[in-house]
């Protein structure tokens, strides 16, 4: 799936048999990016004929994707009718599976959450599937439209073509036909992807403007594990069978971590950077058994020395890992996501200094920024997967 880039819409306007569908996506994405806007503005910036834009907008209104919201200011002629995305009903269903919690939510076309339910993720895969299906069946029964795609983010390797979850290291789940399990029972289309990939997609659509405005960036998710979503040339890079981006399992030096990686290894970057690593580091320093990493982050914000020591050791290893990503992939930007970003103002200078001091080559620098997707970025990632069908053109994945 490739993001429609409205900045180059003049180059994307279709001249083939698919002209109407692709041009409709161009118009829809322009409205999403610049709402409220007018038909005249869309025509001016996409090189589509005014009559074509009017026809496409009429179609989008009839489909319930766009609505007229009032009259804008005149620039010399007739006052324009303003357009924006319809926010009146469910347009997406997201299923966010994490090692601890599964969250299911509905959202409107703008990605705004309308309804949300959470429950524990069980190591028993069938029990987890049963709970997901039960929640989705209730949601489906209340939907006014049945053309909604379900997006699912998973903390593991996913073959997005087949929808098979190849491996979830936290639970040892292998060859899980998740898309088949859900779509056959619900009768709705399902798209499954790795959680970090889903975050990268969400950043490209709903993140801060400097993220939406670049063609190549890397999203690094610091959570129970460490995930990496690679967004290159307007689409997610997945590699062979969706296994690209598993940089959390990159070996760094010969130091052995006291925290095991989700794969069981002690030398993986994840073993030094995950929330679990920070938590174990803090507990060792204070001689207690704190089980909530947010508590450690809150203590760090209040200046607790032991919490700060644990956090900044994590930041040191995170900087080392990000430096390797920059050297190897040369992105324009790196986005850090996860609960650790609540400390962003505190950790940003140290993180950037570590990255800068590690990279010795004279290569283009990458900007480092924190995600603005909120406390649950993987959920918005799942919502983005659900919205793909409405906003992106489907083509061969890289």
Residue 210 pLDDT grade (very low, low, confident, very high; cuts 50, 70, 90): confident
CA 382 to chain centre: 7
Task: Please give the pLDDT value at position 374.
Answer: 84
Task: Please give the pLDDT value at position 190.
Answer: 96
What distance in Å separates the CA atoms of residue 378 and residue 151, rounded to the nearest whole number?
A: 11
Residues 6+ apart with CB under 8 A from 200: 217, 218, 219, 229, 230, 231, 236, 335, 381
What's the average model confidence in pLDDT over 18-42?
A: 89
Measuring CA to CA, how many Å separate 389 from each of 282, 293, 383, 384? 44, 36, 11, 10
What distance in Å separates the CA atoms of residue 151 and residue 145, rounded to the nearest whole number?
A: 16
pLDDT value at 75 more than 80:
no
Question: Which of 21-35, 93-107, 240-254 is predicted with the least confidence, judged by mean pLDDT?
Answer: 240-254
Kindly report the three-state secondary structure assignment for every residue of 170-185.
CCCEEEECHHHHHHHH
Question: Which of 14-23, 161-170, 236-245 is predicted with the least confidence, judged by mean pLDDT?
Answer: 14-23
Residue 159 pLDDT grade (very low, low, confident, very high; cuts 50, 70, 90): very high
- Reading across the β-sheet that carries 157-159, which strands appear in turn? 157-159, 164-168, 173-176
What's the average model confidence in pLDDT over 102-120?
A: 95
- Residue of higher predicted confidence among 347 and 266: 347
111 three-class SS: coil
Task: Please give the pLDDT value at position 397.
Answer: 41
Q: Residues 128, 161, 13, 60: is their CA dihedral positive or negative? A: negative
Q: Give me the count of residues in the chain.
A: 398
What's the average model confidence in pLDDT over 204-216?
A: 84
pLDDT above 70 covers a percentage of the chain that reads 93
DSSP3 helix / strand / coil % (the chain, rounded to 5): 45, 20, 35
Instruction: Pick the closest to residue 326 from 203, 206, 220 (CA basis).
Output: 220
Task: Please give the pLDDT value at position 10.
Answer: 53
What's the average model confidence in pLDDT over 200-217?
A: 87
Q: What is the mean pLDDT of the chain?
A: 89
Q: Count of CB atoms within 10 A of residue 167's CB?
A: 17
Residue 98 pLDDT grade (very low, low, confident, very high; cuts 50, 70, 90): very high
pLDDT value at 299 more than 60:
yes
How does DSSP classify residue 240?
A: G
Tokens representing residue 376 in the block: 């649950």
Residues 6+ apart with CB under 8 A from 278: 293, 296, 310, 311, 314, 340
Query: Model pTM?
Result: 0.87
Residue 398 pLDDT grade (very low, low, confident, very high; cuts 50, 70, 90): very low
Task: Please give the pLDDT value at position 211.
Answer: 85
Task: Please give the pLDDT value at position 13.
Answer: 54
What's the average model confidence in pLDDT over 379-389?
A: 94
What distance in Å separates the CA atoms of residue 67 and residue 88, rounded to the nearest whole number?
A: 10
Q: Count of CB atoms within 10 A of residue 321's CB?
A: 25
Q: Count of CB atoms within 10 A of residue 379's CB?
A: 29
């Amino acid at each position: 799936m490739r993001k429609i880039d409205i900045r180059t819409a003049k180059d994307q306007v279709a001249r083939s048999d698919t002209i109407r569908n692709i041009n409709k996506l161009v118009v829809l994405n322009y409205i999403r990016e610049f709402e409220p806007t007018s038909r005249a503005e869309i025509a001016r910036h996409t090189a589509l004929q005014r009559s074509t834009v009017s026809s496409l907008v009429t179609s989008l209104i009839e489909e319930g994707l766009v609505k007229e919201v009032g009259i804008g200011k005149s620039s010399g002629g007739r006052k324009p009718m303003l357009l924006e995305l319809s926010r009146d009903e469910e347009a997406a269903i997201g299923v966010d599976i994490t090692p601890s919690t599964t969250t299911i939510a509905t959202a409107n076309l703008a990605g705004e959450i309308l309804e949300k339910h959470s429950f524990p993720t069980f190591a028993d895969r069938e029990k987890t599937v049963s709970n997901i299906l039960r929640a989705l069946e209730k949601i489906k029964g209340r939907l006014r439209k049945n053309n909604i795609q379900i997006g699912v983010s998973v903390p593991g390797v996913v073959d997005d073509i087949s929808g098979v979850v190849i491996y979830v290291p936290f639970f040892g789940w292998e060859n899980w036909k998740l898309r088949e399990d859900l779509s056959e029972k619900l009768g709705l289309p399902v798209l499954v992807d790795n959680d970090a990939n889903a975050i990268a997609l969400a950043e490209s659509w709903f993140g801060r403007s400097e993220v939406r405005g670049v063609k190549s960036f890397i999203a690094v998710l610091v959570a129970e594990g460490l995930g990496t979503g690679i967004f290159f040339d307007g689409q997610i890079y997945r590699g062979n069978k969706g296994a690209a981006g598993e940089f959390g399992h990159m070996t760094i030096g010969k130091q052995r971590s006291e925290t095991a990686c989700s794969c069981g290894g002690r030398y993986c970057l994840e073993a030094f950077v995950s929330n679990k690593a920070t938590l174990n580091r803090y507990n060792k320093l204070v001689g207690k058994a704190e089980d909530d990493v947010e508590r450690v982050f809150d203590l760090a914000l209040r200046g607790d020395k032991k919490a700060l020591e644990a956090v900044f050791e994590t930041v040191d290893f995170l900087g080392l890992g990000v430096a390797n990503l920059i050297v190897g992939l040369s992105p324009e930007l790196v986005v850090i996501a996860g609960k650790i970003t609540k400390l962003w103002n505190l950790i940003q200078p140290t993180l950037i200094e570590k990255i800068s001091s590690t990279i010795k080559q004279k290569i283009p620098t990458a900007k480092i920024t924190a995600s603005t997707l909120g406390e649950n970025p993987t959920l918005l990632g799942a919502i983005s997967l659900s919205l793909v069908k409405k906003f992106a053109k489907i083509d061969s994945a890289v």
